[in-house]
């Protein structure tokens, strides 16, 4: 596909679709800026070429067609202004008014998901996005599996379209990983639902020497032969868990867990074997014996792929398993580590270890679909748009 490096963008108006969908707390503070940081190379390259820059992004899941200050990009604009040392103007009514550029200013469009028709790839909306620029730059890998107006439809109508540096980098690294990962390869897959990750679990079980599962996925598998109390699991996906366990012998499930009757920083925590959990107890993290088994496996690995924490790491008492995985990965310089998914990034960021991970993917759903071998719509259209 055509890269931003392949075309002349000097003095042109660029619409860069970035992924600035970052966690923001109730006080307006950005708790993890990794997606913003990884979006900067494309923006800075465009600045070097004296391009006029418009940036678009979504944030969260607001009701389409409705402005909601909770999902405004105003705090993103303030943050970008600080790190780029340029005035960043947040534009709300940009679809019906001509954008006026002032010297050294960057325009940030308000949350694209406030626009009616964004999610169903409305043609009129797509044309309006395209009319804003000379060149559309798709740089949001995390949304490349979405057929939305700001990611997909706009490419059909823009005068010229290309891929940004982040998008190119993501594709190159993931293709290289899937083609020939260095062995032994250990994959770690956490998350609530086995149903949403069933296909990627199959793919990774075929590709990996071992697959470690955690969270609700592990609970659903454990429920085949154990009473898991009041734990999160998918009762309607038991058949999928059974298929995986019967087909693959390289899947590692917990042998003990950290359980509690409540979920808080004051919870009373017990470590129990998986066959000894009471009705009113919830599995909230893996136990020490399971941690030992996992660490032993990870220490043998040449490549580790990780998507999804193995416990409710947001609470101090239930992050020991996730912390052990992070410490094992970063303590071995010979391991090539690749992580993807917002929760995984947040977990690694919590322990200040992002700069020690070999490769960070900004994608969650897109990351998983790419690994499954699915064609991502936005990637496909860019490849055919040469």
Q: Which of 12, 17, 35, 128 is flagged as catalytic?
A: 35
pLDDT band with cut points at 50, 70 and 90 for residue 386: low
Q: Which of 49, 74, 92, 365 is flagged as catalytic?
A: 365
Which pLDDT score, from 0 to 100, does residue 69 have?
A: 95
Helix, strand and coil content of the chain, in percent to the nearest 5, comes to 40, 20, 40
Percentage of residues of the chain with pLDDT beyond 90: 88
Q: Which of 153, 340, 341, 342 is flagged as catalytic?
A: 342
Q: What is the C-alpha separation between 194 and 243, in angstroms, rounded?
A: 11
Q: What is the C-alpha separation between 372 and 368, in angstroms, rounded?
A: 6
Which pLDDT score, from 0 to 100, does residue 93 have?
A: 92
52's enclosing H/E stretch is strand 52-56
Tell me the average pLDDT across 50-56: 97
Give tens-digit pLDDT for 265-278.
999 999 999 999 99
Residue whose token pair is 């270890």 = 353
Which pLDDT score, from 0 to 100, does residue 178 have?
A: 87
49 catalytic? Reply is no
Mean pLDDT of the chain, nearest integer = 95
Give tens-digit pLDDT for 333-349.
899 999 998 889 989 99
Tell me the average pLDDT across 190-218: 95
Residue 324 has pLDDT above 80, yes or no: yes
Give tens-digit pLDDT for 220-261.
999 999 999 999 999 999 999 999 999 999 999 999 999 999
Residue 177 has pLDDT above 90, yes or no: no
Tell me the average pLDDT across 122-150: 97
Please tell me the pTM assigned to this model.
0.91
292 catalytic? Reply is no
Q: What is the C-alpha separation between 217 and 193, in angstroms, rounded?
A: 6
Helix then strand count (H, E) for the chain reads 13, 15
Residue of 241, 193, 210, 163 lying closest to 343 (CA atoms)? 193
pLDDT band with cut points at 50, 70 and 90 for residue 97: confident
| Tokens encoding 209 | 């020497």
35 catalytic? Reply is yes
Do 334 and 306 meet the contact criterion of CB atoms below 8 Å apart? no
Q: What is the C-alpha separation between 133 and 123, in angstroms, rounded?
A: 16
Q: Name beta bridge partners: 137.
A: 16, 162
pLDDT band with cut points at 50, 70 and 90 for residue 110: very high
Q: Which of 74, 92, 119, 193 is flagged as catalytic?
A: 193
Tell me the average pLDDT across 167-188: 92
342 catalytic? Reply is yes
The Cα-based distances of 114 to 57, 80, 287, 359 in angstroms read 11, 20, 43, 32
| b/e map 220-251, b = 16+ CB within 10 Å | bbbbeebebbebbbbeebeebbeebeeeeeeb
pLDDT band with cut points at 50, 70 and 90 for residue 117: very high
């Amino acid at each position: 596909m055509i890269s931003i490096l392949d075309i002349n963008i000097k003095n042109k108006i660029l619409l860069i679709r970035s992924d600035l969908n970052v966690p923001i707390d109730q006080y307006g503070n950005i708790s993890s800026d990794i997606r913003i940081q990884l979006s900067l190379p494309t923006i800075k390259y465009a600045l070097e070429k004296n391009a006029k820059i418009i940036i678009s992004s979504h944030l969260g899941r607001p009701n389409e067609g409705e402005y909601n200050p909770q999902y405004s990009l105003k705090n993103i604009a303030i943050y970008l202004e600080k790190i780029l040392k340029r005035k960043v103007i947040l534009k709300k009514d940009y679809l019906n008014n001509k954008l006026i550029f002032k010297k050294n200013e960057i325009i940030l469009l308000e949350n694209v998901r406030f626009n009616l028709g964004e999610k169903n790839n409305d043609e009129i909306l797509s044309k309006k996005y395209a009319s804003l620029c000379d060149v559309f730059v798709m740089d949001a890998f995390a949304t490349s599996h979405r057929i939305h107006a700001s990611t997909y439809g706009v490419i059909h109508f823009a005068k010229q379209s290309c891929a940004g540096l982040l998008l190119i980098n993501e594709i190159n690294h993931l293709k290289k990983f899937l083609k020939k990962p260095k062995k032994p390869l250990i994959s770690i897959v956490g998350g609530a639902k086995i149903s949403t990750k069933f296909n990627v679990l199959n793919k990774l079980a075929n590709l990996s020497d071992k697959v470690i599962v955690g969270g609700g996925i592990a609970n659903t598998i454990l429920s085949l032969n154990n009473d898991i109390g009041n734990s999160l699991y998918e009762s309607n996906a038991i058949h999928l868990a059974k298929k995986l366990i019967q087909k693959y012998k390289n899947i590692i499930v917990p042998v003990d867990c950290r359980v509690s009757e409540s979920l808080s920083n004051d919870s009373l925590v017990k470590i129990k074997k998986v066959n000894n959990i009471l009705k009113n107890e919830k599995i909230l993290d893996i136990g020490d014996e399971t941690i030992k088994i996992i660490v032993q496996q990870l220490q043998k690995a040449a490549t580790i792929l990780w998507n999804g924490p193995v416990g409710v790491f947001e609470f101090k008492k239930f992050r020991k398993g996730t912390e052990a995985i992070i410490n094992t990965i970063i303590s071995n310089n010979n391991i090539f580590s690749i992580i993807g998914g917002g929760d995984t990034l947040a977990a690694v960021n919590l322990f200040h270890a992002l700069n020690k991970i070999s490769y960070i993917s900004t994608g969650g759903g897109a990351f998983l679909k790419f690994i499954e071998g699915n064609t991502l719509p936005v990637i496909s259209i860019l490849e055919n748009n040469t």
